[in-house]
Amino acid sequence: MPTESYVASVDQRSHVRGLVEVGAASVLWGTGGLAVQLIREHEALSPVTISAWRMTIAAAVLVVALLALRRGGELVALARTRPRQLLVVGVGTAAYQGFYFVSVTQVGVAVSTVVSLGLAPVLLTVAESVRHRRMPTGTRLAVLAAALTGLVLVSVAGHESATGPAPVAGVLLAIASGTTYALTTAAGGSISRGTSPLVLTSGMTLVGAAVLLPCLAFVDGPRVTGDPAVLAWLLYLGALTMALAYVLLYSGLRVVAPSTAVTASLVEPVTAAVVAAVVLGESLGPVAVVGILLVLGAVAGLGRPAAAAGPVLPDPLPDPLPDHRSD
């Protein structure tokens, strides 16, 4: 019995650690909107162009890190042993971001954010319930409901509620974004338990860059820039909101269920609202404050196994060290 209690305690600590890592990734993602806004104040780069360079910069930073750590062989091994999964994660990450950006132009930020970010935790919670053949507990449903209500309040209070030129198409694109986000997170969680987060993120960004860079041929506006401020913000987006954030996400997915991770990622719009208030002087009304408190309370509640939006996973085995011995 003492051994079982110790194991449960270790698993719980690992779960909380993973939740903190996903939360930290979401905070970084939440600062990305401000960076994009500041970039577009200097240069009329399209969101797709910014996303392509963000992914490319992240891939470059991570590959340099792998080479410096002499771990390039691990990336080659991952590409050889799990090529399909790596393609799914890389293409999926590029796709759900692209779907979201286009959705925003068609139906507005508020609707796109609520649909895309809100759909993912619902889909994964249902999928995990079906797989484990049991209904989510009342506590889990309450946490999910609080998080989604908070998301709606923050999104509606922080942006114009008017729709864009093609609301139906925009909603469909937001649904595609949320569905792809859910599937990609589940796939990433599956690979992450047997792969170094650094190696997985390197492979994912390389695939994502290969998908997004050709899209530059079809976008309007400039594709490159020499503005130092724009270059600095692009470096920030690539190195921190993509490279570091996804390393944290995949590290967290080793010990938290995908549905828990996507629920915790609702910290992203909360961060965006707070950053806009602090840096840009935008006011946070009472509706937004209530939404922020609901999301933060729900994410804090995910730290309890009974409230987590998925099973508490055991800590994975350490990454195997490469064997340099000759045959």
For residue 9, count CB atoms less than 10 angstroms from its CB and return exposed for 0-12, middle for 13-18, buried for 19 or more: exposed
Find all residues with CB under 8 Å of 138, minimum gap 6, and list them: none
What digits encode the pLDDT tens for the residues 269-325?
999 888 888 887 877 889 889 999 999 999 998 887 666 666 656 666 555 444 444
pLDDT tens by residue, 68-97? 999 999 999 999 999 999 999 999 999 998
Contact at 8 Å (CB) between 108 and 160? yes
Helix (H) or strand (E) holding 185: helix 167-192
Question: Letter for the amino acid at 264?
Answer: A
Nearest to 54 by CA among 303, 234, 256, 286: 234
What pLDDT, on the 0 to 100 scale, is given for residue 312? 59
Nearest-CA neighbor of 136 among 122, 150, 148?
Answer: 122
pLDDT at 315: 61
pLDDT in tens, the chain (327 residues): 454 453 455 467 888 899 999 999 999 999 988 888 899 889 989 888 999 999 999 999 999 999 999 999 999 999 999 999 999 999 999 999 889 888 888 887 778 888 999 999 999 988 888 887 888 888 888 999 999 999 999 888 765 555 667 888 889 999 999 999 999 999 998 899 889 999 999 999 999 999 999 999 988 889 999 999 999 999 999 999 999 999 999 999 999 989 999 999 999 999 988 888 888 787 788 988 999 999 999 999 888 766 666 665 666 655 544 444 443
Please tell me the predicted confidence (pLDDT) of residue 140. Answer: 84
Residue 256, SS3? strand
pLDDT score of 170: 87
pLDDT in the model for residue 119: 92
How confident is the model at residue 306, as a pLDDT?
A: 63
What sign results for the dihedral spanned by CA atoms 90, 117, 264, 286? positive
pLDDT at res. 282: 76
What pLDDT is recorded for position 7?
41
Q: What's residue 196's pLDDT? A: 94
CA torsion sign, 12 to 120 to 37 to 101?
Answer: positive
